[in-house]
């Protein structure tokens, strides 16, 4: 067994990984109904005005404004009703002095009309309409191009497409959006002790948890994921798997990063590329490693499920969001009082998962292999390297998982 090299701080380890991953450059056209949370690869420039015509902003009557001057509740003016425009209809008939057309919100304004009197200030009597309130030119009209003018850059490259921004594409009649391709990530579970779901467990085996938790976390943060079959602990199998997925933007191994006799990943990376660190001064997650092979970043995560997933929150989320060009996730923190005394003798920065109940933080962490440590937890408390104890009742900062 080869011991870990000098353990690296969490901050330095993340800094090294971030230096060696790049935002994806390639772009692709996708249907707008599948573009939510994607990152725009080119400024969206309007090819038309929105609205594309002067339109009624209210239900009411299209008029010549001058025909309403001097009108009041006690001195209404009478206009002749010469037509009706329902939603989706338009007319080329000009309105002459003394005439009006009933109009629905959103309809194009008839020629010669320059205002709309709201229905609340009118009264229809046969073929006539009594107007009880004067309007000025352009009142209750949304002019052509009021929202967007042709040639205007509406959404900038690098912006994340939200439902409202996708609506702009639809308003412009565009079916597709040019977005940056999602970073392709290969997740490779390793170990003869790991069995795939649906198969019978042999003596000493457990079901594969890590590839599913990592894949879901990566998908949630903008990646396209290939979940590889489980790779046995052999030099040839690990090396073959590495090169099978070398066309991906990031390769993530779960397991195989410790220093046991059968953990060979670090040696393969050293032989074929550059191992940048192996061992981080955190608990859980000490075996984490990172290197580069053929200019492709390779991240080795611990095999224990709780360690693997907690490290993914620390390292994988910021890394994949940079690659996907998504804004960094700002962790949400809350203050709580420790419900029980917690002690660390690890000499490492320690992450304690906690459950918050009535403002108190209860330790949820069991062992590195217990995935329920995370599924039952609301967040985690960090115990720094130079601090061994947090006493019961002491105020702590809890970083929430969601």
For 20-45, write each residue's pLDDT tens digit.
999 999 999 999 999 999 999 999 99
CA–CA dist 156, 40 (Å, integer): 7
Identify which of 289, 283, 244 has the alpha carbon closest to the alpha carbon of residue 265. Answer: 289
The CATH class for the domain spanning 10-26+182-323 reads: alpha beta
Summarize pLDDT for 201-217 with one digit per residue, the tens.
Answer: 899 888 999 999 999 99
Per-residue pLDDT of the chain (402 residues; tens, 9 = 90+): 445 567 899 999 999 999 999 999 999 999 999 999 999 999 999 999 999 999 999 999 999 999 999 999 999 999 999 999 999 999 999 999 999 999 999 999 999 999 999 999 999 999 999 999 999 999 999 999 999 999 999 999 999 999 999 999 999 999 999 999 999 999 999 988 899 999 998 998 889 999 999 999 999 999 999 999 999 988 999 999 999 999 999 999 998 655 554 468 999 999 999 999 999 999 888 889 999 999 999 999 998 888 888 899 999 999 999 999 999 998 899 999 999 998 876 678 888 889 999 999 999 876 555 677 778 889 889 888 888 899 999 999 999 987
Superfamily classification of domain 333-396: MoeA, C-terminal, domain IV (2.40.340.10)
The answer to whether the pTM exceeds 0.75 is yes
- CA torsion 84→88→91→97, rounded to 10°? 50
Does CATH number 2.170.190.11 belong to domain 55-142?
A: yes
Domains of the chain, residue spans = 10-26+182-323, 29-50+149-180, 55-142, 333-396
CA–CA dist 153, 172 (Å, integer): 12
CATH topology of domain 29-50+149-180: Molybdopterin biosynthesis moea protein, domain 2 (3.90.105)
């Amino acid at each position: 067994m080869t011991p870990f090299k000098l353990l690296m701080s969490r901050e330095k380890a993340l800094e090294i990984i971030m230096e060696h991953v790049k935002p994806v450059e390639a772009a692709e056209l996708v249907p707008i109904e599948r573009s939510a949370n994607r990152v725009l690869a080119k400024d969206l420039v309007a090819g038309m005005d929105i609205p594309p015509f002067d339109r009624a902003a209210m239900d009411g009557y299209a008029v010549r404004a001058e025909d309403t001057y001097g009108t009041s509740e006690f001195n209404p003016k009478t206009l002749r009703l010469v037509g009706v425009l329902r939603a989706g209809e338009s007319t080329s008939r000009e309105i002459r002095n003394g005439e009006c057309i009933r109009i629905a919100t959103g309809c194009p304004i008839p020629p010669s009309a320059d205002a709309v009197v709201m229905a609340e200030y009118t009264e229809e009597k046969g073929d006539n309409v009594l107007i009880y309130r004067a309007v000025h030119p352009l009142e209750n009209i949304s002019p052509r191009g009021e929202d967007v003018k042709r040639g205007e850059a509406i959404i900038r490259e690098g912006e994340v497409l939200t439902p409202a921004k996708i609506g702009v594409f639809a308003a412009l009649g565009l079916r597709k959006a040019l977005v940056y391709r999602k970073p392709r990530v290969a997740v490779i579970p390793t170990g003869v002790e790991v069995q795939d779901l649906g198969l019978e467990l042999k003596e000493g085996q457990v079901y594969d948890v890590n590839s599913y938790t990592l894949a879901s976390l990566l998908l949630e943060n903008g990646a396209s994921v290939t979940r590889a079959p489980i790779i046995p602990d052999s030099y040839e199998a690990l090396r073959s798997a590495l090169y099978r997925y070398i066309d991906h933007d990031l390769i993530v191994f779960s397991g195989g990063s410790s220093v046991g006799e059968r953990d060979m990943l670090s040696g393969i990376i050293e032989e074929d590329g550059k191992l940048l660190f192996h061992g981080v001064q955190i608990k859980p997650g000490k075996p984490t490693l990172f290197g580069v092979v053929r200019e492709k970043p390779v991240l080795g995560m611990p095999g224990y499920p709780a360690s693997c997933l907690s490290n993914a929150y620390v390292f994988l989320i910021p890394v994949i969001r940079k690659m996907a060009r998504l804004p960094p996730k700002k962790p949400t923190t809350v203050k709580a009082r420790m419900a029980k005394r917690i002690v660390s003798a690890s000499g490492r920065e320690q992450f304690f998962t906690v459950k918050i109940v009535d403002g108190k933080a209860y330790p949820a962490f069991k062992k590195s292999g217990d995935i329920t440590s995370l599924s039952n937890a609301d967040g985690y408390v960090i115990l720094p390297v130079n601090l061994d104890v947090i006493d019961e009742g002491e105020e702590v900062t809890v970083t929430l998982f969601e």
